Amino acid sequence: MPNNLVIVANRLPVDRVEQADGTPGWRLSPGGLVTAIEPVMRANDGVWLGWPGGTDQDLEPFEHDGMSLVPMSMSQTDIELFYEGFSNGTLWPLYHDLVAKPEFHREWWDAYVSVNRRFAEKAADNAAEGATVWVHDYQLQLVPQMLREIRPDLRIGFYLHIPFPPGELFQQLPWRRQLLEGLLGADLVGFQGHGAAGNFVRLVRQRVGHKTHKDLVYLPDGRTVRAAAFPISIDSQGFEDLATSEPVAARAKEIREALGSPTKVFLGIDRLDYTKGIYARLRAFSELIADGHLDVEDAVFVQVAVPSREQVEQYRILRDDIDRLVGRINGDLGRIGRPAISYLHSSYPREEMAALYRSADIMVVTPYRDGMNLVAKEYVACRTDNTGALVLSEFAGAAEELRQAWLVNPYDINGMKSALLEAYRAEPKETTRRMKAMRRTVTQNDVAAWADSFMTELADVRSSHGKAVRPAKRS
């Protein structure tokens, strides 16, 4: 059945699970994107199109928790060339300031084009006349143009969840023009920050030759494309409710006791990814102990590294490097029952994350480059008593909004050490002042406001064309 709203993302918002009776089933994925888009979908009889993971072919559309889902199949070759290859071996490092070296392979590009075309065709099949299609993220940057060619009647939005690089880096890409033209198929192209939107408009002017003015691109066919910043956020009320619940409060107390009730708990929670700066952060903390500024009796660093892309060689190497570093630090600086670093290579449910946020005095978020970094915002949302300190990389998108954090350059180990120590020694009056301001920002600009602002802007871009999509009602 054709739909007024089609969400197109690499992944469906559900994960496969084995149910209590042993039969396969689905569970809603954790994460802000699902929280944000679900109410917009419900308000517009929308459908979500994406890959459910795995290599099952020809899965039928299905309903889950009142959401209409259309699964896209991927072969093992698609996963290797399109997903692990071009998306995560070429685009991911290129868009993250070359923290790792991107690889450029023509067969990876061919697979990227082929998979994007399948997504575009499926979206066209599921969209009603004059419908709105919202395409998400770096894996699907060709979909807007492909979709526009098949269905010029559609209103198309695109949102990039990761950074968009400056021209000097983007221009290395052999298929740079094709990607820019792919994005120009959209009416509205959304980015995490103003710098990324500016990079895109400049590149379009220089590389494609279209006229631009501020955030607008004028196409020869008479269409106007807008590129703008829509910083993504979290379900702040959901995290606040979780953090103040009795089980989470009890678990937070338990965590501190299990750590030996130290004076201060430092916390890092990241996907195990080379962009996250985990290695440098742990080195900085260990040097503060080695230098005598901190003592393992008083301070402990809890680092959660959520497993990620473990079949990719670079990620396996990173895991081994961090395993060795933690072992060396604890061997050199720890005492019996008092390791300097408690390292957890695992993923946890939201309840456990909220308990960790509540138990930590200092949250350390130091990526080399990040589109936003929602962990920083989640920590702030969970600090309902206005305590706690945030040490944040100035290269995370969140730094544009959370100005009261201790901002650091993650490449500067000495600067990071100074910030960690400042946050450790800060007076309660100072941390409360900073946390109150950050909490105001996160509460006022939650994920529902982000989705509303994008959808409203998209409706305005082509207000004379097609059906307007209603933002979800705010409760």
pLDDT of residue 121 exceeding 60, the answer is: yes
pLDDT digits (tens, 9 = 90+) for 3-37: 999 999 999 988 888 777 878 888 887 666 777 78
Contact 379, 353 (CB under 8 A): no
More confident residue, 166 or 471: 166
What pLDDT band is residue 373 in, cutting at 50, 70 and 90? very high
pLDDT tens-digit profile of 40-87?
A: 887 778 999 999 988 887 889 999 888 899 999 999 999 999 999 999
Q: What gap in Å lies between CA 220 and CA 210, rounded to an integer?
A: 8
Residue 475: predicted pLDDT:
46
State mean pLDDT over 131-138. Answer: 96
Measured CA to CA, the distance from residue 162 to residue 286 in angstroms comes to 30
Q: What percent of the chain has pLDDT over 90?
A: 83
At position 198, the amino acid (one-letter code) is G
- Is the pLDDT at 313 greater than 60? The verdict is yes
Provide mean pLDDT across the span 184-205.
97
**What's the rounded Cα separation, in Å, for the pair 149 and 116?**
13
Q: How far apart are CA 140 and CA 183, in angstroms?
A: 9
What percent of the chain shows pLDDT beyond 70?
Answer: 96
Q: How confident is the model at residue 387 (pLDDT cuts 50, 70, 90)?
A: very high
Q: CB-based burial of residue 216 (10 Å sphere; 0-12 exposed, 13-18 middle, 19+ buried)?
A: middle
What 69-73 contacts at long range (C-beta under 8 Å, 24+ apart), as own/partner pairs, is 69/12, 69/13, 69/14, 70/122, 70/126, 71/12, 72/118, 72/119, 72/122
pLDDT on residue 464 = 39
- Write out the DSSP string of 314-361: HHHHHHHHHHHHHHHHHHHH-BTTB-SEEEE-S---HHHHHHHHHH-S
Q: What is the largest CA-CA distance in the chain?
A: 71
**How far apart are the C-alpha atoms of 153 and 168, rounded to whole Å?**
35
pLDDT for the residue 54: 87
Strand partners, 364: 391
pLDDT of residue 465: 41
The answer on pLDDT for 262 being more than 90 is yes
Per-residue model confidence as pLDDT tens digits over 440-471: 999 999 998 999 999 999 999 864 344 445 55
pLDDT at 31: 64
CB atoms within 10 A of CB 64: 15
Superfamily of domain 3-232+448-461: Glycogen Phosphorylase B; (3.40.50.2000)
Measured over the CA atoms of residue 371, residue 375, residue 381 and residue 387, the dihedral's sign is negative
Instruction: Please check the confidence at residue 312 and state whether its pLDDT lies above 70.
Output: yes
Domain with CATH 3.40.50.2000 in the chain: 3-232+448-461, 236-444
Architecture of domain 236-444: 3-Layer(aba) Sandwich (3.40)
* pLDDT tens string 81-96: 999 999 999 999 999 9
Find how far residue 428's CA is from the centre of its chain: 31
Please state, in angstroms and rounded to a whole number, the distance separating the CA atoms of residues 92 and 318: 16
Mean pLDDT of the chain: 93
Distance CA 7, CA 436 (A): 35
428 pLDDT higher than 90 = yes
pLDDT value, residue 182: 98
CA atoms within 13 A on the CB side of 314: 17
Q: Does pLDDT of 159 surpass 50?
A: yes
Residue 466 has a pLDDT of: 41
Strand pairing category for 216-218 and 224-229? antiparallel
- 437-463 per-residue burial string, b: 16 or more CB within 10 A, e: under 16: ebbebbeebbbbbbbbbbbebbbebbe
Region of 394 on the Ramachandran plot (φ > 0 left; ψ -120 to 50 alpha; else beta): alpha
- Which whole number is the average pLDDT over 270-297? 96
